[in-house]
Chains A and B, each alone.
Chain A
Amino acid sequence: MADSAQVAELLEHEEKKSLESREFGFWVYLMTDAIIFALLFASYVVLSKNSAAGPTSNDLFDLGHTAGETVLLLVSSLTFGLATIAMAAGQSGRVVQWLFVTLLLGLGFLAMEMVEFYGMIAKGAGPGTSGFLSAFFTLVGTHGLHVAFGSLGICVMIGQVLIKGLTLPVRSRLLRLGLFWHFLDIVWIGIFSVVYLPGVM
């Protein structure tokens, strides 16, 4: 009897340790991703004035649209935080509700970005037009792709919480997805500060 209890305790300890090392590994991934984004930012800054006699950032950017995207992403960071709080309190129903709200906000952000991209391409300002537009679509598109994968991750985690409940591995995955989601909001701060705000001045 005592033996099996000891074994169970040992197993739980090992599981915790393995989850901790995964959290560290995910953190390392996020930092390398930050380096990728930093270099895309650098390319954008270098190329941002090279519009090749085509449309410039002043003609294309709409600050109201950008403000809308910013609000969606910032509120989605808050709602993911609320899901994390519900997780700490063990309320799996609340977790699913807040994750669903976060998912809707993320999809809303993606829809707005799609509208913006299609509008620009329709105006003849596609990624092939100039160095400025190549760098713009690479930087903002890479961020959008990350948000799309994050939304997919939220769908998966909603399923896992519903089917498996708030077990130790599910909690750890949800925390890691939260890190990813908040990280994307940080990258967006860089995008509106480096791309959109200086672009319309």
Chain B
Amino acid sequence: MDHSTERNLSTYLTGFALAVILTAIPFALVWGGLLTGPAVYVVIAVAAVIQVLVHLVFFLHLNLKSTPAENLFFLVFAAVLIFIMVGGSLWIMMDLHHRMM
């Protein structure tokens, strides 16, 4: 019992430390104006995606072994829906915007 509690605490602290680092990087870049142009967007997007994964693994305790398969299935299903709906909306609206210029 004690051992698993200890491991749990270190899981949360690891996740927290990673989340702080992944938040600090994009804020520092934008604040300090260290990078300009599209590179900043790439860094922000990559840091955000990694941080979402960190939260899912360290805070929501998702993993391929103990998480029920149907939960993972639903997560992937939602991700596919989001990809189609958000990607599709942005594609159509950007295209429309481009043609209206």
Contacts and interface: CB of A to CB of B under 8 A. Distances in A.
A85 interface: yes
A197 B30 contact: yes
B52 A189 contact: yes
Interface residues of A, number: 39
Question: DSSP majority for the A interface?
Answer: helix
Bin chain B's interface residue count: 35 or more
B60 A35 contact: no
Q: Is the interface of B mostly helix, strand, loop or mixed?
A: helix
Interface in B1-58: 1, 4-5, 8-9, 12-13, 15-16, 19-20, 23, 26-27, 30-31, 40-41, 44-45, 47-48, 51-52, 55-56
Contacts of A193: 26, 44-45, 47-48
9 closest Cβ contacts across the A-B interface? A31-B78, A193-B48, A81-B12, A38-B82, A182-B59, A42-B86, A46-B93, A42-B89, A78-B16
Interface of B: 1, 4-5, 8-9, 12-13, 15-16, 19-20, 23, 26-27, 30-31, 40-41, 44-45, 47-48, 51-52, 55-56, 59-60, 68, 70-71, 74-75, 77-78, 81-82, 85-86, 89-90, 93
